[in-house]
Chain A
Amino acid sequence: MMMDGRDVVAMWEGLASRDAASRDAAMESLQQEMMRRVESIGPLPETPCSSSASHLNRVLARILMLSKRCPYGDVREKCIWLLRSIQDIGVRIPRPLGNGPSRFIPEKEILQVSKVDARTQSIFEEAFSLGHLDNISLVMGFHPQYLESFLRTQHYLLQMDGPLSLHYRHYIGIMAAARHQCSYLVNLHVNDFLQVGGDPKWLNGLEGAPQKLQALGELNKILAHRPWLLTKTHIESLLKAEENSWSLAELIHAVVLLTHYHSLASFTFGCGITPDIHTDGGHTFRPPSLSGYCVCDIANGNGVAEVSGEVEVLMERMKQLQECRDEEEASQEEMTTRFEREKTESMLVATAEDEECVPSRDVSRHFEDPSYGYQDFSRRGEHVPTFRVQDYSWEDHGFSLVNRLYPDVGQLLDEKFQIAYNLTYNTMATHQGVDTSMLRRAIWNYIHCMFGIRYDDYDYGEINELLDRSFKVYIKTMVCSPEKTTKRMYESFWRQFQHSEKVHVNLLLMEARMQAELLYALRAITRYMT
């Protein structure tokens, strides 16, 4: 008996169930189905291109994914066993490409998390049953508290009540991710987009999409690269476009989605997220060749402490700053200069190699004007007025606006920002009981500084003390042109710190960037409204 589509869906769902018995049952039917299919094709099919064979390969890839990523041990074991028995019949089975969810972090370390931490495990299980256990979540699993809030927010933005229809939401996600040439996120959402009934024609490029979405392209571009240029005329042109106009609530939803995916693209590149195993590029059917191993993959461990004392120096500096702050009081002019200097300097931090990597055709078709990138505003001589956070802050103004037009999302975002900002384990590398608030604040404010956002009550001299050059390069690249992040950059900052701490930094970067973009967008909307 051929299983029809519905049964297959039910079977995959069964595998994600929390109930062991229904997992067993689903596994059973999966085995039968696979065996039947494999036999029907016969060993070593001569025509690998036939549709049934390619379908089989997709299923095999999925089983491979389950054998590696499923949070349930029983399913993992059985999938491994199933793959092996299929291989014994003589069918080629896939193997995962790359090493683990991240190119930067050893797979072992990531997967260990869920085995140790019960909370992470339960979050993974929940995400898995919703079909969202992607590599991003796996990497974020280092910080379960944050992950929970992140997944809740993302789920709300994409699935729950909101002014935009489901396929619009995914399409906007695609637009935003494509702006940073993040093929991982684009592929993820292309699938979702088609699944919720999106028109495949839209995927040929923005010109295939409705006028209304095309109009959003400009906002997307500005927000991603130069949010400070956003004015109320941009907003007005979106809201007053005859039959293609956006409503305020829709616009807020779109803005939140855009900023969410811009910053998520930063995270994806910053942590070197690899494609999910069951998607294209996540696995291969070719047998491993010996030359495939990169030496650095094997030899690489982050723990090699060539530069000892880096952490200690940083801690010493934090202590000094803490102590001397009361004594030496910089003049106001000095403070202003420090901010300007940091702002200017952040522009001069070279963003890695200058070679222009041409975006793959596949992704670039989702946006126009690929040459438009982050532009250092001070360098070109154009003076952009500084954005004073005391005059327009997320807590006082942004929140109220979002919550008014898109209820509950303000609350969710507020929680997420707070968790990201306040997250700490009071550790630094191997040291326990360290108050890291100063360091976290420096990172957060440095990112806002790059966007021209200034805190009156912050001494920007601290940034210079606490963030060294390689770290600044990393931050700058990740925030402004994440697609250029390289493994070398990831490794060259904070060499003694643990991977989980680097992921933590990435979370900070991501949230700070999102808030910065949101602040500019919301301020423009507020100005339009008044």
Chain B
Amino acid sequence: MEKMACVSTVSSRTMFCHLDAPANAISVCRDATQVVVAGRNIFKIYAMEEDGFVERLNLRVGRKPSLNFSCADVMWHQMEENLLATAATNGAVVTWNLARPCRNKQEHLFTEHKRTVNKVCFHPTEVHMLLSGSQDGFMKCFDLRKKESVSTFSGQSESVRDVQFSMKDYFTFAASFENGNVQLWDIRRPDRYERMFTAHTGPVFCCDWHPEDRGWLATGGRDKMVKVWDMTTNRAKEIYCVQTIASVARVKWRPERRWHLATCSMMVDHNIYVWDVRRPFIPFATFEEHKDVTTGIVWSHQHDPYVLLSGSKDSTLYQHIFKDASRPVDRANPEGLCFGLFGDLAFAAKESLMTGEAGRKPYPAGDRRYPIFFFKKPDVTEQFAQVASALSVFESEADGSSRMDWFIKTARRYLLSGKPFAELCDHNAKVAKELNRPQVSTTWTMLRIMFSDPGNPALPANHNMSKLGNIPLMNSFNLKEMSSALNERNKENRQDNLHNLETNLNNDENEETEGSDGQAEYLFGDAELDDDDLYSMEHENQAEEAEFSLPQEAFPLRHEIVDHPSAPEPPAEKPESPQVSGSEAESFCLTPMESISLISVSQLLYQPQLPPSFFCPVVREMLDYYAEQGDVQMAVSVLIVLGDRIRKEIDELTQEHWYMSYIDLLQRFELWNVSNEVIKLSTCSAITCLNQASTTLHINCSNCKRPMSNKGWICDRCHQCASVCAVCHHVVKGLFVWCQGCSHGGHLEHVMEWLKSSNHCPAGCGHLCEYT
């Protein structure tokens, strides 16, 4: 009955009026007919009438208004309609009695706080009780019949930003703090808070008790979140969380709507949002009238969910009507797109959109698609528009390029340390080849050739020779296999490739130099090699070129195919291409003759002018190239294997970046061991410290169940050996394995042995343990 009356008296349209100054806070009287606006330079009462706001009373009196009028907050008593309280920026708490006959309505002045008072709050049912929270970290409870506070609550932490009496629990109030904490107090016990928890990072600007649900508390903070806490449990439990786009200044539950609350922000964003906490991603409704930040919001009546009042820094006071609110959900595009770990693609869109294109031709890359339809059971209490969307999953081809199998296999099988450099390279080259990644494989071989020779002029020449002897042989072995693969490629590509090679060259070079050029090109993955570099290589060592010439034949091809599949081929090239036909080049290097000649000139190859560091710029470019291509695995692996040989070439930040990316990838594929190995082998301090964190495992003594404090195996409380093997009853001084269920355990091998023959716990506790 009362509710009906109230709704009818208030005009139901959106309206506003100009204030003379920015507002800091507003409050309505119980019957929703009048609103008080308070700010630094304003303190007025307006009546809400049919055709707009009408100024009723200006409480700011006196020639030179004191700072007591500079209000940070205001509250209208919900039972005593003549009573108001304000919090002043200078630390005063003032109460006002509208029934006073003179112009100055000020009744009490409490100046007990040392700093700005941020919030005042009347008790919802107790007429004379007023609570205040201040910047000085204290909360004070005033009995309005007395001249001073009756109790002081010390938060023992930073400034108090908000205080709110519980709606349902007579003695309880909540206080929110600048350091992110929320405390619950019993009004009868000023010595200590009942409960404290950290709600936000950074200040908690506001809190609000749910008007009906006992124990639901909404908090809003500078971290842009609104959280709803259930306080009925032992520990405050976060049950809902809404992420907004700006720090949350005020939060108010919507009357009669259990899951709705209104928020406004402290900075930047001027809108008022009404959220359904169950749908945290999009506001239920938005009021967009204000031109500057909204500082105060209040629902006009505790049983009327349709009218919201707001004051703002732009010096306006608004009455918002729900039917005029904009509904963001109507404008939203319910579509989503996501890549899966293994290259699959999921796409969800409105059902109507998806069915419309059913007759379309199949998606070219993915062969299959699974339309999956989700139906969320419509909840009538949610007034959200129901959207049905269709989800399609496009699986990548079984061995398409987007599959990540190669990544996992490579990661598992690569060797990064523990063997001589040359062996590591060979191993990794083999792995890459087996996984059908010839380019990578050849890169490893190249690296081995470039760096594995000591290149030290002090070494005897024959030693040099013998080491070198392997290389050409190894190479030709590789070549044989590669060339067979090569033969399958069609001629066109080869020509295409050759054309590329030749454009790099001056045309008068002989076959061998073409090879070297191609080699270089293959190494860098692009054709931007400096001419100077080319020449220096050519002139200094012909043999090396010969050695490298063939692998190049196989691989640039592949590379070119990927990179320039449709490069137009100038007809002028045709006559030249037969000059270097693939077979010709292959045969020339495979002959033993050539190998011998390689050895014979290899002295030249490792002249002191060409130390391994000569290749560093080249290798650096190559690593950059791989990283750019998205194969950060290669970049990191080479970095680790080459170690000091290359590390100084690449700046720390880049290295760190590569490591981080690779480790991130490895962890996504759950390759924990590999990722840890990489972390261990990395030299960046930022990376190595990754596995230094939380390496301590706290254990309790198995006898007395108290924490083990000191190192060693003896518990210093009960003086017994703590970690005894349940099988052999000796102390375990190494790997200790224990059952997660009954917490008995022992030596790894003993427990393994035991559980092979028995299902029960070796300690005889009766637990059915399992070893996997």
Contact = CB atoms under 8 A, between A and B. Distances in A.
Interface of A: 6, 9-10, 325, 329, 331-333, 335-336, 388, 390-391, 395-397, 399-401, 404, 414, 456-457, 526, 529-530
A530 B203 contact: no
Interface string B29-60: 00000000000100000000000000000000
Interface in B252-284: 266-268, 270
Nearest to B88: A456
Given A395-B203, A457-B114, A401 B268 contact: yes
B267 A456 contact: no
B92 to A, nearest CB: 9
A399 B648 contact: no
A399 B202 CA distance: 10
A391 B40 contact: yes
A390 B89 contact: yes
A457 B72 CA distance: 12
Contacts of B64: 333
Contact of B89 (A396, A457, A529): A457
Contact of B291 (A329, A526, A530): A530
Contacts of A395: 178, 203, 222
Contact of A400 (B116, B178, B266): B266
A456 B67 CA distance: 7
A457 B116 contact: yes
Given A332-B66, A457-B89, A530 B72 contact: no
B66 A331 contact: yes
A332 B90 contact: yes
Contacts of A529: 268
Pick from A331, A336, A399 the residue with the most CB of B within 10 Å. A399
Given A329-B111, A457-B114, A390 B266 contact: no
B687 to A, nearest CB: 16
Nearest to B293: A530
A275 B59 CA distance: 61
A335 B222 CA distance: 32
A530 B292 contact: yes
Dominant secondary structure of chain B at its interface with chain A: loop
Contact of B135 (A331, A336, A457, A530): A457
Contacts of B202: 399, 414
Given A397-B266, A457-B90, A457-B135, A390 B66 contact: no
A312 B648 CA distance: 59
A10 B613 CA distance: 15
B115 interface: yes
A208 B116 CA distance: 49
A441 to B, nearest CB: 10
10 contacts: A6-B649, A332-B66, A335-B90, A390-B72, A396-B247, A400-B268, A401-B267, A414-B202, A456-B70, A456-B116
B246 interface: yes
Contacts of A456: 67, 70, 88-91, 116
A404 B245 CA distance: 9
Contacts of B115: 457
A397 B267 contact: yes
A480 B66 CA distance: 31
Interface residues of B, number: 35
A530 B292 CA distance: 6
A332 B111 contact: no
Most buried by A among B90, B135, B649: B90
A385 B293 CA distance: 22
Interface in B105-143: 111, 113-116, 135
Contacts of B267: 396-397, 400-401, 404, 526
A331 B246 CA distance: 39
The interface centre, meaning the residue of A6, A396, A400 with most chain B CB atoms within 10 A of its CB, is: A400
B221 to A, nearest CB: 11
Q: Is the interface of A mostly helix, strand, loop or mixed?
A: helix
A312 B68 CA distance: 36
Ordered nearest first, which 4 A-B pairs have the shortest CB separation? A332-B66, A456-B89, A400-B267, A390-B89
Given A388-B40, A457-B90, A6 B648 contact: yes
Given A390-B40, A400-B246, A400-B267, A457 B91 contact: yes
Q: Which of A329, A332, A388, A404 has the most CB of B within 10 A?
A: A332
Given A456-B67, A457-B89, 18 more contacts: A6-B648, A6-B649, A331-B66, A332-B66, A332-B67, A332-B90, A335-B67, A390-B116, A395-B222, A396-B222, A400-B246, A404-B267, A456-B91, A457-B135, A530-B291, A530-B292, A530-B313, A530-B314
A386 to B, nearest CB: 11
B252 to A, nearest CB: 19
A526 B313 CA distance: 12
Nearest to A10: B648
Given A399-B222, A457-B115, A404 B268 contact: yes
A401 B205 CA distance: 16
Contacts of A401: 267-268
Interface string B415-449: 00000000000000000000000000000000000
A105 to B, nearest CB: 32
A408 to B, nearest CB: 12
Contacts of A6: 648-649
Nearest to A401: B267
A400 B201 CA distance: 13
Contact of B66 (A333, A391, A399): A333
Interface in B294-340: 313-314
A267 to B, nearest CB: 26
B39 to A, nearest CB: 9
Interface string B578-608: 0000000000000000000000000000000
A401 B268 CA distance: 7
A414 B158 CA distance: 14
Most chain B beta-carbon neighbours within 10 Å: one of A6, A333, A404, A526 = A404
A332 B68 contact: yes
A332 B64 CA distance: 9
A309 B392 CA distance: 83
A423 B115 CA distance: 20
Nearest to B39: A391
A397 B90 CA distance: 19
A396 B111 CA distance: 24
A203 B587 CA distance: 62
Contacts of A333: 64, 66
A388 B64 CA distance: 18
Contacts of A329: 111
B66 A400 contact: no
A489 to B, nearest CB: 32
A388 B68 CA distance: 15
A317 to B, nearest CB: 18
A401 B267 CA distance: 7
A5 B247 CA distance: 50
Contacts of B40: 388, 390-391
B292 A404 contact: no
Contacts of A404: 246, 267-268
Contacts of A526: 267-268
B222 A400 contact: yes
B266 A396 contact: yes
Contacts of B68: 332
Nearest to A388: B40
Contacts of A10: 648
A395 to B, nearest CB: 6
A321 B291 CA distance: 44
Contacts of B314: 530
Contacts of A397: 266-267
- By CB atoms of chain B within 10 A, which of A331, A336, A399, A457 has the most? A457
A529 B293 CA distance: 11
Contacts of A325: 114
Interface string B170-206: 0000000010000000000000000000000011010
B69 to A, nearest CB: 9
Contacts of B178: 395
B425 to A, nearest CB: 24
